Amino acid sequence: MVKWDADGGRIATTMFEAAAFRRGVRIRCDCGHTAVLNPYRLWWHFHSKHLDDEIEATMRCFRCTKCRRRGRVSIDMIDGGWTETALPMPSESEWKRAVARFRC
């Protein structure tokens, strides 16, 4: 479900919404390490594995590449700026199919 901020902007609550809104997913570990991940690749990672892509549910899945601890992160969205390339991209047809389901 789409949420709105005080300025009328859409707040992504799932990785699919982050991708649909073209928002970079910034993940911050308790150790201070920060990464901005590609929302399309993240959505596809969770979707293709039939995992819940709700932001709150995904937080326990991330492992910090610096301190190696899992699930000690906070997540927020930023405009673009993602650099991660390790996860595979969804095909264009998969993405279009997901967007079509979202609009229904």
Q: Is 64 in the site for Zn ion (CB under 5 A)?
A: yes
Cα→Cα distances 38→6, 7, 77, 87, 104, Å: 25, 24, 11, 9, 25
Q: Is 66 in the site for Zn ion (CB under 5 A)?
A: yes
Contact pick of 2, 51, 57, 67 for Zn ion (by CB under 5 A): 67
Q: Is 75 in the site for Zn ion (CB under 5 A)?
A: no
Q: Is 27 in the site for Zn ion (CB under 5 A)?
A: no
Cβ-count burial of 13 within 10 angstroms (0-12 exposed, 13-18 middle, 19+ buried)?
middle
Give the interface with Zn ion as residue ranges (CB under 5 A).
Answer: 29, 31, 33, 64, 66-67
